[in-house]
Amino acid sequence: MPWLETDAMKERRRLIEDWLSGDYSKTELARVYGVSRKTVHTVLSRFDSEGWRAVEERSRAPQGHARAVAAAIERRVVEARGKHPSWGPKKLKAWLGRQDGGVSWPAASTIGGILDRHGLTVHRGRRRLTTKWSGDLQRCTAANVVWGIDFKGWFRLGDGRRCEPLSLSDLHSRYILRLVALQRPTSAAAWAILEGAFREFGLPLVLRSDNGQPFAGPGLCGLSQLAVKVIKAGVTPERIAPGKPQQNGRQERLHLTVQQDTASPPAATWRGQQRRLAMFVREFNEERPHEALAQTPPAQHYAPSPRLYGGRLRDPEYGPQIEVRRVHPHGTVRWAGQAVFVSQALAGEWVGLEPTERDGVMRLRFGHMPLAMLKADGKLEPLAGARARQRPSIVQKV
């Protein structure tokens, strides 16, 4: 039964005072105050053991919970977060499960609550939904089908020097193949790193990049000197659409994690920063659970490519039905008495002209990679579905 008065503390105090006067029995007090005899007995019992604190309000929340997380488990979760500050609840649960499979680890949501109670959660704003892009990029159906390459973006080290890491990863397994600190994004440095990965891991089918230097150039199909070497190695270069970094989202997401784990803040020296990157690669590949891989590390999903790299850049081979032209030093080829500009990056290389079903129109290709359609009047026509920005051809009468 409820108390008759709204202020329960005053009513309990009056009840105790009436009891101490000796004029009332417990049954009479229950009738006077409109509560049960059991309630009167409870209040008086608390008064005997606690004094006047018995009149204060008490929380009705249970003092214990049958499903509460043990203190030892909570401590290990906090320790794991301390070792891996950028990992979320799902990754921590998967990693702890591999470290000690005999423990019944709490759900990821419970781990998230533990992190929140200890002030270890970074609350982020809600992301706006964007329309997914559907283009003609190669799908990452297996390991070594598509590799992604990109420069992370430069930052200053503690000693003031510029650092711009280059990352190379298998986009299917998320396995990091290379992560090297460079001072400048040069073609020579990028090729040295890429060739080293070819020797160690074999060749992918496609190498995906953005449209910046040294991956793209101003000529036909945006070919650069680096792209030409990639083609001669037996790999197809592929570039995302300009202004569409989400098309290479896996590489971009990797860079965010690299920034959080190795450059916030950056190391004091060049050697220290490279040491951080090397430690990050080992942990990312072999320990860090990945949500897209069912919370398993990338190393469990990657194996080197069966397409071995012999260390030689081979000139393209063309069939007997293809006319072959050598690109002049200025980036032009001769066709129908004209000099047609193709690409400065192809200077000295052999290109092929393949007949098509269209009368007087040839398909211009460099090795296995088609570049454009060459008309009888010497004008270049982009391939259907080509995304690359092309430089207009320069036609000169000879």
If 0-12 CB within 10 Å is exposed, 13-18 middle and 19+ buried, where does residue 29 land? Answer: buried
Torsion angle of C-alpha atoms 20, 26, 32, 37, degrees rounded to 10 = 140
- Amino acid 66: pLDDT: 58
The answer to whether residues 81 and 96 touch, using CB atoms and an 8 Å cutoff, is no
The answer to whether residues 96 and 105 touch, using CB atoms and an 8 Å cutoff, is yes
pLDDT digits (tens, 9 = 90+) for 25-43: 888 888 888 888 898 888 8
pLDDT digits (tens, 9 = 90+) for 254-306: 989 999 999 989 999 989 999 999 999 999 999 999 888 899 999 999 999 99
- 246: confidence class by pLDDT, cuts 50, 70, 90: confident
pTM over 0.85: no
Cα torsion 289, 290, 291, 296: sign: negative
Q: Which two tokens stand for residue 283?
A: 């942990």
Percentage of the chain lying above the pLDDT 70 cut: 88
What is the chain's length? 398
- Amino acid 110: pLDDT: 84
- Amino acid 64: pLDDT: 60
Amino acid at 119: G
The Cα–Cα gap between 27 and 314 comes to 105
pLDDT digits (tens, 9 = 90+) for 173-197: 999 999 999 988 899 999 999 999 9
Closest C-alpha among 336, 324, 329 to residue 367: 324
- More reliable by pLDDT, 347 or 221: 347
- More reliable by pLDDT, 116 or 166: 166
Instruction: Tell whether the model's pLDDT for residue 128 goes beyond 70.
Output: no
